Amino acid sequence: MHQDHRALGLAPLSTVARTSVSGAIDIAQGKPVQPVTLVRPHAAARAARFFVEKFPGRSMYAVKANPSPELIQILWDNGITHFDVASIAEVRLVARTLPDATLCFMHPVKAEEAIAEAYFTHGVRTFSLDSLDELEKIMRATRSAADLTLCVRLRVSSEHSKLSLASKFGVAPHEAKPLLFAARQAADALGICFHVGSQAMTPEAYADAMERVRAAIVDAAVTVDVIDVGGGFPSSYPDMAPPPLERYFETIHRAFESLPISYSAELWAEPGRALCAEYSSVVVRVEKRRGNELYINDGAYGALFDAAHIGWRFPVTLLREPQSTVRDHPFSFYGPTCDDLDHMAGPFLLPADVQAGDYVEIGMLGAYGSAMRTAFNGFGSDETVIVEDEPMVSLYTEVEREAASNVVKL
């Protein structure tokens, strides 16, 4: 049996096999001609439970990381009730998938029509902003509603993160006073939000940002009801092994407790990558080998956008039985399109005897891999299969094993 869905109402239909298989090697043995996306519902469920149980506040999923309705449902089933939506298409998607979910429109620059639809049709009450113009737009679109939570986005440093988000959005802390004061007058609840950048490699990113929040609050002398630390929570990739997430949570909690805010203030976060990176991977076929270059049937215009355009390295494994005993060798990838930009430099470490006709699993593509796909040049595949094995890398399996080992057996 198969299930069809349409992500955001825009992407082509995906076909998700309801029957699970044990792992990627089973897919490779079927010799698929097109790439096959593997999804691991148990990995997403585990990540959701981790944030719900351990983050000292409210965790809301950043839908942009992966807008799959199946994934959104899994996160809801495991305790994620709030969703960070950045467009009216995401608002509609989550509202349609989860009618009881709480939606927060956290893009700081929105179309006035999108704000109005979100408020009047979908019940959105939380909006972010980083300018007086946006505040005026929100008030016009909602007809000066009295039940708004308005989150002023501060610009903070991305120096501790692999991908910067410091230039496009956010008001400088020393310029935030008039905006915070005006938002306070208009809002039922006033929040401050920020984003330290994607894949923050140290908890100090959040500590430093919280100091900027403190300075802005003191300067504006306003009562703040919500502190939203945004996203940036990391996953593990080759040469990018972050500290345990608990250390991030402890640092954030300490900083939050020391802020001059309302006694009943809430702490929020917007994890995206950390909730979905381990959810999926892709099985690709090697179509040609040219020295240290492998031509594969997915690439920059498919699930490997980040590998091509920002040099992201993903874990890879050769799917062959019996397994190769040849030492690993660094390879680069070319995708299937006619475009020279369809190149992923890597290096990706695979056995040196990899050849055309072999299958390779590329892991940790649950975050942004599925979301960035196109059908450029006529290439792409919507085939998706549920698998039961573990992701290649996980920040959560060790925690799960430790929890199991602490259970007292009588």
Dump pLDDT digits (tens) for 183-221.
999 999 999 999 998 889 999 999 999 999 999 999 999
109 has pLDDT over 90: yes
Name which of 408, 394, 296 is nearest 45 in CA terms.
Answer: 394
pLDDT confidence of residue 310: 85
Beta strands in 130-270 (DSSP E): 149-153, 161-163, 189-193, 198-200, 226-228, 266-269
- The predicted model gives 358-373 an average pLDDT of 92
Instruction: Provide the H-helix boundaries in 241-342.
Output: 245-257, 273-276, 305-309
pLDDT confidence of residue 331: 98
299 has pLDDT over 90: yes
pLDDT confidence of residue 12: 34
pLDDT confidence of residue 343: 96
Beta strands in 164-246 (DSSP E): 189-193, 198-200, 226-228
Name which of 76, 81, 178 is nearest 129 in CA terms.
Answer: 178
3 has pLDDT over 50: no
Dump pLDDT digits (tens) for 19-41.
467 789 999 999 999 999 999 99
144 vs 142: CA distance, rounded Å: 5
pLDDT confidence of residue 7: 34
Catalytic residue among 104, 151, 193, 338: 338
14 has pLDDT over 70: no
pLDDT confidence of residue 136: 98
- The predicted model gives 297-322 an average pLDDT of 92
303 vs 402: CA distance, rounded Å: 33
pLDDT confidence of residue 160: 72
Phi, psi dihedral angles at 194 (to 5 degrees)? -160, 170
> Is the Cβ–Cβ distance between 303 and 375 less than 8 Å?
no
With bands split at pLDDT 50, 70 and 90, how would you rate the model's confidence at 398? low
28 vs 44: CA distance, rounded Å: 23
Query: Domains of the chain (ranges plus CATH)?
Result: 2-40+278-387 (2.40.37.10), 41-276 (3.20.20.10)
pLDDT confidence of residue 113: 98
405 has pLDDT over 60: no
pLDDT confidence of residue 183: 98
89 vs 52: CA distance, rounded Å: 26
Does 276 participate in catalysis according to the annotation? Answer: no
The three-class DSSP label of residue 189 is strand
**Strand pairing class (383-387; 36-39):** parallel
Dump pLDDT digits (tens) for 46-100.
999 999 999 999 999 999 999 999 999 999 999 999 999 999 999 999 999 999 9
Phi, psi dihedral angles at 296 (to 5 degrees)? -120, 170
Dump pLDDT digits (tens) for 316-355.
999 999 999 999 999 999 999 999 899 999 999 999 999 9
Higher-scoring residue by pLDDT: 376, 6: 376
pLDDT confidence of residue 399: 53
pLDDT confidence of residue 272: 96
383 has pLDDT over 50: yes
361 has pLDDT over 80: yes
pLDDT confidence of residue 214: 95
With bands split at pLDDT 50, 70 and 90, how would you rate the model's confidence at 401? low
